[in-house]
Structure 1
Amino acid sequence: MSELSNQKCEACRADAPKVTDQELAELMKMIPDWVPVPRDGIMQLEREFKFKNFKLAMAFANQVGELAEAEFHHPSILLEWGKVTVTWWTHKINGLHKNDFICAAKTDELLD
């Protein structure tokens, strides 16, 4: 288990601080398969997961949904044949919060 995946998401307010560039660099080392992506001026974390078929991809997408409900932090989940793209960001602050990195690490562990 990674250090991040052992943590829980904290309730986030609209005035919560976004991660700094230095924090982003450090946190990215803990989730190397994720990519920070600016989309419409909002920094997001994204990773594509590949599967042998649609059924396996759908099962994984459902696991991500269960994780999101448990953490009360919800990503964008794109389900396609043999592929699931998960995108984490914090809507309230229009950017990245430590919660996004925690959830990305927990998403990675769903594959174990």
Structure 2
Amino acid sequence: MSELGQQRCRACSAEAPKLTEPEKQQLMPEVPDWQLVVRDGEEQLQRVFTFKNFVQAQAFTNKVADLAEAEGHHPAILLEWGKATVRWWTHKIGGLHKNDFIMAARTDELY
């Protein structure tokens, strides 16, 4: 388990600062399979996970959903045959917070 994956999310308000570029660059090596993407003007972490079939992909998305609910931090999940795309970002601040990197690391561990 990675150091980042052992951490838990901290409650965050709409006034919480987004991560700076140096902070993001420091955290990205801890989640090397994730990409920084911009959707609807908001920076997000995204990764596509592949599986042998729909049932395995669905089981994984259920695990991610359970983790998200336990942490009170919810991603966008797209379930397709043989793959699941997960995107983490902090809705309240319209961008990335350390919580998103924590959840990306924890999602990797579920995979």
Normalised TM-score (structure 1): 0.98
Runs (4+) off by over 4 Å: none
Letter in 1 for 2:18: K
Unaligned 5+ runs, structure 2: none
CA RMSD of aligned residues (A): 0.5
- Indicate yes or no: 2:87 matched with 1:83: no
Determine the C-alpha separation between the residues in 1 that align with 2:55 and 2:61: 10
Letter in 1 for 2:55: K
2:33: which partner in 1?
A: 33
Determine the C-alpha separation between the residues in 2 that align with 1:88 and 1:79: 15
Identity rate of aligned residues, in percent? 66
* Residue correspondences, number: 111
Letter in 1 for 2:22: Q
Unaligned 5+ runs, structure 1: none
In the TM superposition, residue 11 of structure 1 has moved relative to its aligned partner by 0.5
In the TM superposition, residue 86 of structure 1 has moved relative to its aligned partner by 0.2
Letter in 2 for 1:76: A
